Amino acid sequence: MTNLTIKFDDRQYNSLMQQFRRATPAQIDKAITRAAKRAATSARTETVRQMGSEYTLPASERRKDISVRGLTDNPGAQMRIAGYVAALKEFKGVTPRGPMPPSKGPVKAQVKKQGSKKEIDNAFVAKMESGHIGVFERTDDAMTKDGRKTKARLPITQLYGPSTKKSFVSNSKVNEAAVHAAGEMFEKRIIHELERMLHG
């Protein structure tokens, strides 16, 4: 799990807080959390937008991996990114889109929008009994949790692309844009929330 945490810096907002000396600590904490949640939501929106311009995975698949929640121990909020990997078939840059016999290959994949499609040796698109369609490759064995090889129950394994978490951490353009969006929104909302708290 990767988190982007938005908290209140007393030193940065010292002059602002002088304007709201009549507010109780509870009121201030509530205003901070409301502003931070809006900032975290803005960061999520920007993260999804930036990833949409960088990768071929649909925005809906990215958005479901990112949540926003308030902090439990301090006023503030977090944008939380889960580390679930995305099935390679979910990326729009993968062809063919439907089931195909292994002999009809090759499967081509483009995870990032910049660049070209690359062939994946021994891969094919298949539909499982459950109805799930994915990109698979044949394998003679699998690895146990302690690193030992063992005969696989099924002679195929599904292929995956990078997770939203990995894409966020490894792409400075994406995470810097998210941090900037969060900071801008928090600056805007903290004043609004404090004024609304005191003046209705």
pTM equals 0.80
**To which residue do tokens 């404090």 refer?**
194
Helix, strand, coil shares of the chain as percentages rounded to 5? 40, 25, 35
pLDDT digits (tens, 9 = 90+) for 96-108: 988 887 667 789 9
The 10s digit of each residue's pLDDT in 53-70 is: 999 999 999 999 999 999
Each residue's pLDDT, cut to its tens digit, for the chain (200 residues) gives 688 898 877 666 666 666 667 778 888 889 899 999 999 999 999 999 999 999 999 999 999 999 999 999 899 999 999 988 889 999 998 999 888 876 677 899 999 998 889 999 888 999 988 999 999 987 765 555 455 555 555 678 899 999 999 999 999 999 999 999 999 999 899 888 887 876 65
